[in-house]
Amino acid sequence: MSTVDGPKRDTVRIEGPAPRILLIQAPYYDQVVGGMRRGVERVVAEAGGVLEVVDVAGAFELPAALRMALDAMEHPEEPPLWDGFVLLGCVVKGDTDHYDHICREACSGVMSVAVGTGAAIGFGLLTVHTLQQAIERSSDDGHNKGAEAAQAALLQVALRRKWRMA
């Protein structure tokens, strides 16, 4: 277990209606992603938010699912379905270079969508060398990367609302 403490963040406070968050998860490593999901659920609940969860096949599909969700909201006459997004997954290094390709393309794809759209995104893709490292980062303690991703998404939602109100 790591001896370095993760960042301690207070509950995110968001002005206005309850934030609606879409969690897109790749539950290939169900124990790990399930642990991170519990962190997301806790953080979103503490912020008074509403969470919707969808599954995709794997980490490679996370950026496309995010893009599809954003495309589903392109109806200006309707309120947006979600205020922010959290993406969760885990890739464990194996004996081939498959790990490198999946990690690089998933991260690049999410960053491309984030920069191109300005969407409020929390990205929780674990890229680890061992399953034990992933378990440590998905436990119910201060190191839960799902909780950190949810905090990031909520902070982005709060920033967007602040700037829209200004």
SS3 sequence of 97-114: CHHHHHHHHHHHHHHHHH
**In a 3-state reduction of DSSP, which class is residue 66?**
helix
Residue 39 predicted with pLDDT over 60:
yes
97 dihedral zone (left: phi>0; alpha: psi -120 to 50; beta): alpha
Q: Kindly report, residue by residue over 61-74, the tens digit of the pLDDT.
A: 999 999 999 999 98
Residue 28 resides in a domain: yes
> Mean pLDDT for the chain?
92
- The whole-angstrom separation of Cα 1 and Cα 28 is 23
Per-residue pLDDT averaged across 140-145, rounded? 88
Per-residue pLDDT averaged across 54-60, rounded? 97
> Active site residue: 98, 101, 129, 143, which one?
98
Assess whether 101 carries a catalytic annotation: no
Residue 66 resides in a domain: yes
Share of the chain above pLDDT 90, in %: 80
pLDDT class for 164, splitting at 50, 70, 90?
confident
Residue 109 resides in a domain: yes
Per-residue pLDDT averaged across 109-129, rounded? 97
What global pTM score does this model have?
Answer: 0.92
Residue 2 resides in a domain: no
CATH value at residue 47:
3.40.50.960
Residue 11 resides in a domain: no
Residue 1 predicted with pLDDT over 60:
no
Q: Is 54:23 a contact under the CB 8 Å cutoff?
A: yes
Residue 76 resides in a domain: no
- The whole-angstrom separation of Cα 77 and Cα 98 is 43
Residue 15 resides in a domain: no
- The whole-angstrom separation of Cα 138 and Cα 149 is 11
- Could you tell me the strand order of the sheet in which 20-25 lies? 50-55, 20-25, 84-92, 121-128
Per-residue pLDDT averaged across 4-16, rounded? 73
Task: Supply the range of the domain harboring residue 89.
Answer: 20-71+82-165
Structural domain count of the chain: 1
- The whole-angstrom separation of Cα 124 and Cα 34 is 12
Residue 38 resides in a domain: yes
Distances (CA, A) of 151 to 1, 18, 19, 119, 133: 23, 15, 12, 14, 21
The pairing of strands 121-128 and 50-55 is unpaired
